[in-house]
Each structure stands twice: as structure tokens, then as C-alpha cells.
């Protein structure tokens, strides 16, 4: 029996007989799919059966590992996935300014994402020019841009085109698949620090556990409920934040942190409405603080440094 049929049978049996894939099964079936050894309809069926049962950390980690053997390592410091986009009611992609300020502070920041135009959300790609963030047309160009500017945005189609095809299955079959979770963890920059924003309950812990399952050394990822599911921290909510490091997975509870007395920039690159400027400023600082927490493993230190970078930007 082929690997894909074995995996479909494993997850698709009746309620008593079905079980999730192991890490090894997930890796093998995705590796074979990426080599063209099974077709799109078979893989789509498998992924949707997995999604109905809720994907496990072993399944996602196996899929990610198969992709990572084919994606580049571009020498970034910070891995910043941008796949969800933001609802217009949640404001513009202010997290891009967080990324730009961290790049200005000496970090090499690689943003990567997918522009889901039918979703009607505000995506990072729409704001790159306004923020002065260069768009890479290939992994090689992304590497050059990181060296030159410290920041770049690399579309998914340029480093994992098969993953973009799989994301598009939502419009064909009417259901999201676990690939939306997988792409956030691909880390094409080979960064030591990453962040994962997600929307649905439970996925914050799952993203951290996936990183632990993959077992990369010297890699720290902070995972939280992001604005509209994007990699942008919402300062108006209290929530449990998860972090995966070499020591394992930990959870931390962060309370709401909205500063009323916070500096404002002389000019807002997003042309944000006046009544949303405070939210924008707090979002930029809180998102930087989350990233720096993953690096420093100390939230107060991270927040203090983030606030300092914001204050210097506003002068």
C-alpha cells in the first residue's frame, strides 16, 4: 500500500479505529507529495480528514520538517510570518512598523507570507511600499536585501510554491487545511527567534509545541493570539502566551497593557485615524516586546527595550 493511502486509512477509519499520524508518517507522506509521488486530490483529502479531527503537533511538525528540507536558510535573526491579514475593523498591519524598527536596531528581519485576495483583509504586501520594506522576488534576493537593509518580505510562492497551491485549496474545497498552520513554521530565514500569531483557541499552544517537536537548536518562538490571527500582538487583551525554547514549552500570562501616555510619531506611515493612534502606538510597542521576550526570555526587559525603540523613533 502506498504511503498516502496508508495515511488516509489511518486518519479516516471509523471513530474507534482512526488515529492521528505519527511524526514519521507525516514527514514521509509530505516528502513524497513534494516529490510528486501522490496527487493533489489525495493530499487534500488527507489534510481535510486531519483538520476535522484537529491536527496534532506531531502531524504539523512532520509536515514542516519535510518542507524545511527544501526551503532556504537565509541568515535572518527574526522569523516573521504574515499569513492571516487583518480585518479592516482591527486596524492596519501596524506590526510591520514593529518589524521595521527592530531591523533599524540591528536585527535581520525576514517577513514571509501569502496574499489571500479573496479574503478581503489588509495584508502585509499591500503596505510594504509605505513602510519602505523591500519585496524579494527570490530567496537569493531576500538574502541580499537582508544584508543591505536588515529587512525583507519574501512571498510564499518564491520559496515554497507547493505550499501556496495547498493554501489555495480553501477556495476549491471550501475548507482550510492544516497547511495554514504549517506555513507559519517554515522559517525560511533560519532565524533564531520567531513569532506566531493565531486566532483560534488552542493554536497558540500548538504552534509552540510544534517548534519543540521539530527540535531545532538555538531557536525560540513566542506564540500568542494575534490581531485577526496575524503576527501582531493585541495590547488590549489579557492572554496566555506560549514560548518554545531549547528548555521546552512554557506558558506565561500577560495582562492588558495599554499606555495612555505614550509618544506619537511626527508622521504616521499608515495615515492612521487620529482616534486610533494610541492603539497603533501600543500595538507596535507590544509586538516588539513579544519578539524581544523570545530573545531575552524576560518580558519586562523586552517591553522596556521596545518602548525605548519606539520613543527614539518618535523624536
**pLDDT, tens digit, for every residue of 169-219?**
988 888 888 999 999 999 999 999 999 999 999 999 999 999 989 876 568
Gap between the Cα atoms of 48 and 25, Å rounded = 16
Pairing of strands 239-245, 220-225: antiparallel
Cβ atoms of 94 and 122 closer than 8 Å: no
Mark out the alpha helices in the chain (DSSP H runs): 3-12, 23-34, 40-53, 57-68, 95-104, 128-131, 139-149, 161-167, 169-173, 179-184, 203-214, 277-296, 299-314
Where in the chain are the domains? Answer: 3-54, 78-314
Cβ atoms of 60 and 178 closer than 8 Å: yes
What are the φ/ψ torsions at residue 109 (nearest 5 degrees)?
-110, 120
Residue 153 has pLDDT above 90, yes or no: yes
Q: Report the CATH number of the 78-314 domain.
A: 3.40.1030.10
pLDDT tens digits, one per residue of 14-67: 778 789 999 999 999 999 999 999 999 999 999 999 998 899 999 999 999 999
Model pTM?
0.95
Query: For residue 164, with 0-12 CB atoms within 10 Å meaning exposed, 13-18 middle and 19 or more buried, which class applies?
Result: middle
Gap between the Cα atoms of 138 and 152, Å rounded = 11
Cβ atoms of 241 and 204 closer than 8 Å: yes
Residue 127 has pLDDT above 80, yes or no: yes
Gap between the Cα atoms of 4 and 29, Å rounded = 6
Cβ atoms of 239 and 230 closer than 8 Å: no
The conformation of residue 86, written as its DSSP 8-state character, comes to B
Task: For residue 288, give the nearest of 244, 218, 231 by alpha carbon.
Answer: 231
Gap between the Cα atoms of 163 and 161, Å rounded = 5
pLDDT tens digits, one per residue of 250-281: 999 999 999 999 999 999 999 999 999 999 99
Q: DSSP for 149-174, please give it.
A: HSEEEEEGGGT-HHHHHHHTHHHHHS
Amino acid at each position: 500500500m502506498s504511503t498516502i493511502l496508508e495515511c488516509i486509512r489511518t486518519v479516516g477509519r471509523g471513530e474507534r479505529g482512526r488515529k492521528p499520524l505519527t511524526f514519521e508518517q507525516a514527514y514521509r507522506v509530505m516528502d513524497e507529495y513534494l516529490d510528486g509521488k501522490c496527487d493533489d486530490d489525495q493530499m487534500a483529502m488527507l489534510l481535510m480528514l486531519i483538520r476535522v479531527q484537529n491536527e496534532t503537533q506531531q502531524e504539523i511538525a512532520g509536515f514542516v520538517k519535510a518542507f524545511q528540507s527544501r526551503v532556504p536558510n537565509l541568515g535572518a535573526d527574526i522569523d516573521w510570518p504574515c499569513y492571516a491579514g487583518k480585518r479592516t475593523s482591527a486596524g492596519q498591519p501596524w506590526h510591520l512598523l514593529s518589524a521595521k524598527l527592530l531591523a533599524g536596531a540591528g536585527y535581520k528581519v525576514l517577513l514571509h507570507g501569502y496574499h489571500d485576495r479573496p479574503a478581503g483583509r489588509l495584508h502585509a504586501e499591500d503596505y510594504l511600499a509605505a513602510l519602505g520594506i523591500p519585496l524579494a522576488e527570490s530567496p537569493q534576493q531576500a538574502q541580499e536585501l537582508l544584508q543591505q537593509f536588515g529587512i525583507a518580505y519574501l512571498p510564499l510562492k518564491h520559496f515554497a510554491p507547493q505550499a501556496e497551491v495547498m493554501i489555495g485549496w480553501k477556495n476549491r474545497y471550501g475548507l482550510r487545511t492544516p497547511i495554514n498552520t504549517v506555513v507559519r513554521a517554515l522559517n525560511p530565514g533560519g532565524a533564531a527567534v520567531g513569532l506566531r500569531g493565531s486566532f483560534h483557541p488552542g493554536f497558540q499552544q500548538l504552534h509552540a509545541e510544534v517548534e519543540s517537536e521539530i527540535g531545532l537548536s538555538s531557536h525560540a518562538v513566542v506564540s500568542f493570539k494575534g490581531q485577526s490571527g496575524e503576527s501582531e500582538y493585541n495590547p488590549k487583551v489579557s492572554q496566555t502566551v506560549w514560548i518554545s525554547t531549547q528548555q521546552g514549552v512554557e506558558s506565561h500570562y500577560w495582562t492588558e497593557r495599554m499606555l495612555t501616555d505614550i509618544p506619537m510619531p511626527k508622521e504616521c506611515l499608515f495615515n492612521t485615524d487620529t482616534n486610533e493612534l494610541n492603539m497603533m502606538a501600543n500595538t507596535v510597542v507590544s509586538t516588539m516586546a513579544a519578539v524581544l521576550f523570545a530573545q531575552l526570555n524576560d518580558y519586562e526587559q523586552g517591553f522596556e527595550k521596545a518602548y525605548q525603540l519606539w520613543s527614539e523613533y518618535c523624536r
